[in-house]
Structure 1
Amino acid sequence: MQWISKLFRKKHVKPIKSFSSHDRVLFFQELGELLQSGYSLAQSLDILASAHLKWQDRLNQIIDDLNHGIKLHIALEPHANHQIILQIKLADQHGNLSQTLVAIGQSLAKLQQQENKVAQVMRYPLILLGILGLMLVGLKYFLFPILNQWQNETTTVDALNHTYAYLFIGTVVLLLFGVCMIWRSHTPRQRLILLVHIPIIGKIVETITTYQVAQQLAISLASGVTVPEILDDISHSHKKDMAVALVKHARQSLEKGETIEAYVLKQPYLNRSLAGYFARGHEPRVLADYLAYYAKTQFQLLMQQTDRLIGTLQPLFFGIIGLAIVGLYMSMLLPMYQSIGGLYQ
């Protein structure tokens, strides 16, 4: 009868804006803590609606869905990705909902911290490139016209400079177009393998993937299900994101008789140390505890790698910008010297 609930939801539910990243973290953490404190699901949602006025429309919609017989994981579909929805579904079926919701909130908080680190890495080059672009615009539209008034014969030089600039820009555009075409021709898993083999960022990509795999498995295994069952549930998704692609590839390998530890050792985007946890034959809940601790160590490693990357990129980009500034000054001063020299001839 679950399809009837979904049909009712599609026909009678007004679209509600999803939670922001920050609000999503708070929602799952606080909902799990309220459930752990002994409140029912309806009471917990009502308390959250009273405590967070800006969430009232979303929470009232979730409460209305539950009142019409819709399962919690379906009611939360607009507010979470497929992996989180699956974790909530398994936890609800095996009676581990409150602990799973708290773990999801903590995992989302770490992912948000990870995204902030990546944004911090990208912020410096973007700001510096923006400054360089402003300098180029200023030279082109303010300084060079003044210099052209001093020197009549600069027209040919300017035309030549413009030709070189257009050739450079055209080459960059063609290279970017070629990279985009190659990127789109690959599957999500092949793209991940390409990223892993890129110098400097490859190790960070490997750590991110290992952390997310360990964390997601830890949350799901805490419900008592096995790894093959988790892979089977996720692989039925029709979404074409990275996680589903990796799960489908892993499921195909396991169906051919390959062990989990052997599969992990073969994947270039997973840390080889992860395989050891599957070779010991632990029960799902025990394995979940080990993987949760391992995920914490991987997250700490990720923060260290990101800090080192930031420390490397900062002087590198400052050096590039410094050379660009010197080149701009040369392009500015040389015509001035030529003009001044022409006045004395």
Structure 2
Amino acid sequence: MSGPQTAQLFSLMADVLTAGFSLREGLNFARVMLPKMHQTIADIQNRLAQGIQFAEAMRPFVSVDCFYQIKIAEENGELISVLTNLGNFLAVKVRQQQKIRAVLRYPLGILICLGLLIVAIKQLLLPELSGLGAKQLSIPSIGWSLKICLLVFITGLITISWRFLHQPRLRQLQVACKLPVVGPLLKMYWHYYLSLNLSLLLNSGMQSHDVMKLLQTYESKSLLRQLADQLNNHLRNGAKLDAFVDRYRFIPATFKVFFNKGLSNREIAKDLKVDAQLTYHRLFNRVEGLISLIQPLLFGIIGLGIVGVYLSILLPLYHTIGGLS
């Protein structure tokens, strides 16, 4: 399913379940309200009819992280709240993507026009000015040395990307969190994701070691599984939890506070849930702030390009007028 479709389905299912519908009734209602997803919902219903849980029925249609979030919620009686959160989160994500496209549309159109203008000036205007005796101020072309450097850069980028994609997911996230702009957003998202899921598990009455054992049963490409494996090895070597939290950039430092206060698991779960909600709002505000910076930056680049184009026209004209006088 696409992002907008997933957001629509989760939000609708949360609403009908809150209204007292059963899963079967809710999916029947969703097939009527979301005709474009008729076949997908029918497939989910067929899987449920075979005795499969809702999370497992959704598994082919959602990401791994989304699947485990639904699975944890379903097993701990929090399906409605988590579907609501997922629906809201995905809906906001879709709106922000649409907003980015809208913000980029006008500046990119101007950049394309500016590029065409530069080509026209270089191919048509500058040769004419040169014929009039002007000292031509040509728009620099890409030399062989620059082409070679560009080729080496692209080759290196492809190699690094290939190696990155073949790393374990935990390692990928560690590297991605170091990137400018994207890194802080990833850290906030995983702060929210880990806090929310741990709050659900601990609120169910499970002990910390039981949570770790449960996460180790998840599939190997799940980040929760990889984290649980690393934490298990870390604790078996006699190391402390604080050191493990410090090792990974995307694990929030607040975990050290929550798990060292001597609170009960349900109290920790409550703190984690509040922490997740606050982090979600911070993430939303940060993304909105970055989106608002896109147009000013692009218009700044466009402004520099326009200045360059004017100089490429006016300076040869100045030399031409000087030569005629």
Q: TM-score, normalised by structure 2?
A: 0.77
Q: SS of 2:249's equivalent?
A: coil
From 92, 97, 100, the equivalent of 1:113 is: 92
**Sequence identity (%):** 22
Separation in structure 2 between the aligned mates of residue 194 and residue 167 of structure 1, nearest angstrom: 31
Match of 2:35 in 1: 53
Determine the structure 2 residue equivalent to 1:208: 189
Q: Give the match for residue 257 of structure 2.
A: 276
Letter in 2 for 1:334: L
- 1:12: which partner in 2? none
Q: Distance in 2 between matches of 1:80 and 1:309?
A: 27
- Displacement of 1:222 in angstroms is 4.3
Displacement after TM superposition at 1:295 (Å): 0.8
Specify whether residues 45 and 115 from structure 1 end up closer, same or farther in structure 2 by C-alpha distance, changes over 3 A only.
Answer: closer
Structure 2 residue identity aligned to 1:302: L
Q: Please tell me whether residue 162 in structure 1 is matched to residue 141 in structure 2.
A: yes
Q: Could you tell me how far 1:271 is from its partner in structure 2?
A: 2.9
Which residue is 1:325 aligned to? 306
The alpha-carbon distance between structure 1 residues 204 and 157, as it changes in their structure 2 partners (threshold 3 A), is: same
CA contact (8 A) 1:26 1:105 kept: no
Question: Do residues 290 (structure 1) and 268 (structure 2) align?
Answer: no
The alignment status of 1:65 with 2:47, answered yes or no, reads: yes
5+ residue gaps, structure 1, are 1-17
- The aligned counterpart of 1:175 is 153
**Counterpart residue type for residue 279 of structure 1:** N
Residue number in structure 1 paired with 2:9: 27
How many pairs were matched up?
321
Distance apart, 1:218 and its partner CA: 2.8
Q: How does 1:92-241 map to 2 (within 5 A)?
A: 92-94=74-76, 96=77, 99-114=78-93, 116-117=95-96, 128=107, 131-141=110-120, 144-152=123-131, 161-164=140-143, 167-168=145-146, 171-186=149-164, 187=167, 188-199=169-180, 201-238=182-219, 240=221
* 1-structure distance, mates of 2:170, 2:113: 39
Kindly provide the amino acid, as one letter, of the partner of residue 49 in structure 1: R
1:79 corresponds to: 61
Q: Which has the higher contact order (CA 8 A, sep 6+)?
A: 2
Partner Cα separation in structure 2 for residue 304 and residue 92 of structure 1: 29
Deviates more, 1:113-122 or 1:58-67: 113-122
- Residue by residue over 1:9-58, the C-alpha shift from the partner in whole angstroms, topping out at 9 and shown as x without a partner, is xxxxxxxxx3x323322323332443344433222222322333333322
Q: Is the 8 A contact 2:73 2:82 kept in 1?
A: no
2 CA distance for matches of 1:92 and 1:301?
A: 27
| Deviation readout 1:88-112 (Å, 9 max, x if unpaired) | 4444445x1xx32432331342254
**1:78-135 Cα shifts (integer Å, max 9, x gaps):** 22222333344444445x1xx3243233134225425654775687578645533431
- Cα offset, 1:326, TM superposition: 0.9
Cα distance in 1 between the residues matched to 2:149 and 2:95: 32
For the aligned residues, what is the CA RMSD?
3.8
What residue ranges of structure 2 are gaps of 5+ in the alignment?
none
The 1-side partners of 2:318 and 2:135 are apart by 16
- Once residues 331 and 199 of structure 1 are traced to their aligned partners in structure 2, the CA distance between those partners, rounded to angstroms, is 35
Cα distance in 1 between the residues matched to 2:67 and 2:315? 64
1-side partners of 2:234 and 2:101: how far apart?
36
